[in-house]
């Protein structure tokens, strides 16, 4: 039995089936200038040729339109965050110019400044640079744009021009002039520097701070005065005690010359300047005491003053706190407790 016709029929059937499925599964071409029938609609924002869709750099086709790729969208989100941060910092610097003296003549930021901050170049024709700049333009389109209302540089230099709302479009591959430059602004939630926040707080609470400062100064003065009085009284008491001891130790008829007493007392303690300032006070106190006899002696044309102890000679002296005091007699060792059996005045 000859099976050749069966093989031929089977092969022909398989070939027809494959060709049919290939024809049915082949997508229709996209409509373009040459194909207008039996074609699919070209995705929005794209250019089509046959079965090929060409989307702008940084975009991809979803079948209906060209949309931003995930990497482009992520990059655009980062740009938007950084641009808003720059605008908010400029607004904060402008609001703080009166406090900090920062250079911020206007709260607006030029397009050129934003390009520099983001490291963009409008004249770079590489695919990555074009994609980045396209994302940058899309971000700027969501911001309010301003331009100078001047028509010439001369008018702008006169200082009467101001920035007014305008429509900003894609930038050409050339540098802007000062008049044509675009500016952007974000007044929401300005960012203030730390120094500015301090000065703003001081300005807002200046009355309270002034009052508290006055209280603080008064408190410091009171504490300093009390401490100063305590030190002065302590020094006077120490000087009086040492002078009394010196007079008791000097058992001579003429007593001890006041000038020598002053020299020893002033230069023997750790508070020499204070002792010098308090000498006149302690001298008046000693001369007004009932235990000190004031005498005068003429030596040539000079009259010298002497003090002599006329109180009880059994007075117990306290410990000396003047480390450099030179005495004619030894001072017995004792505690820091000052104790008297007899009053010196």
pLDDT of residue 101: 66
What would the DSSP string read from start to end of 154-202?
A: HHHHTT---EEEE---PPPSSPPPTTT--EE---SS----HHHHHHHHH
Residue 177 is predicted with a pLDDT of 79
Q: Work out the mean pLDDT of the chain and round it to a whole number.
A: 80
Residue with token string 């007075």: 315
Per-residue pLDDT tens digits for 186-213: 888 899 888 888 888 888 898 999 999 9
Whole-number Å distance between alpha carbons of 295 and 252? 13
261-308 per-position pLDDT tens digit: 888 888 887 888 888 899 999 888 888 888 888 888 777 777 888 888
CB of 43 closer than 8 Å to CB of 67? no
Task: Report whether 171 contacts 181 (CB < 8 A).
Answer: no
Model pTM score? 0.56
Strand residue runs (E) in the chain: 47-49, 52-54, 59-61, 66-68, 109-110, 145-148, 163-166, 183-184, 256-257, 292-299, 302-309
Q: What is the pLDDT of residue 224?
A: 96
């Amino acid at each position: 039995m000859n099976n050749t016709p069966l093989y031929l029929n089977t092969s022909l059937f398989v070939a027809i089936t494959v060709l049919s499925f290939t024809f049915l599964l082949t997508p229709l071409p996209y409509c373009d200038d040459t194909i207008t029938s039996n074609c699919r609609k070209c995705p929005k924002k794209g250019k089509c040729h046959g079965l090929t869709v060409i989307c702008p750099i940084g975009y991809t086709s979803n079948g209906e339109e060209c949309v931003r790729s995930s990497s482009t969208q992520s990059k655009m989100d980062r740009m938007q965050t950084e641009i808003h941060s720059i605008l908010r910092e400029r607004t904060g610097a402008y609001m703080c110019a009166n406090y900090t003296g920062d250079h911020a003549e206007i709260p607006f930021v030029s397009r050129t400044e934003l390009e520099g901050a983001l490291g963009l170049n409008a004249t770079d024709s590489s695919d990555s640079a074009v994609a980045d700049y396209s994302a940058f333009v899309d971000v700027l389109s969501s911001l309010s744009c301003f331009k100078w209302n001047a028509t010439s540089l001369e008018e702008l230099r006169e200082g009467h021009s101001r920035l007014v709302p305008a429509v900003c479009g894609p930038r050409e591959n050339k540098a802007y002039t000062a008049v044509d430059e675009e500016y952007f602004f974000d007044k929401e939630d300005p960012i203030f520097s730390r120094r500015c926040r301090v000065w703003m707080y001081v300005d807002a609470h200046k009355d309270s701070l002034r009052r508290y400062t006055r209280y603080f100064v008064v408190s410091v003065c009171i504490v300093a005065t009390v401490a100063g009085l305590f030190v002065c009284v302590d020094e006077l008491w120490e000087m009086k005690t040492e002078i009394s001891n010196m007079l008791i130790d000097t058992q001579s008829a003429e007593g001890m010359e006041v000038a020598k007493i002053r020299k020893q007392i002033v230069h023997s303690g750790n508070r020499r300047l204070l002792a010098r300032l308090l000498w006149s006070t302690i001298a008046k106190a000693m001369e007004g005491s009932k235990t000190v006899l004031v005498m005068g002696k003429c030596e040539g044309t000079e009259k010298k003053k002497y003090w002599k102890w006329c109180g009880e000679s059994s007075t117990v002296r306290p410990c000396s706190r003047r480390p450099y005091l030179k005495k004619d007699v030894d001072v017995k060792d004792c505690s820091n407790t000052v104790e008297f059996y007899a009053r010196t005045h």
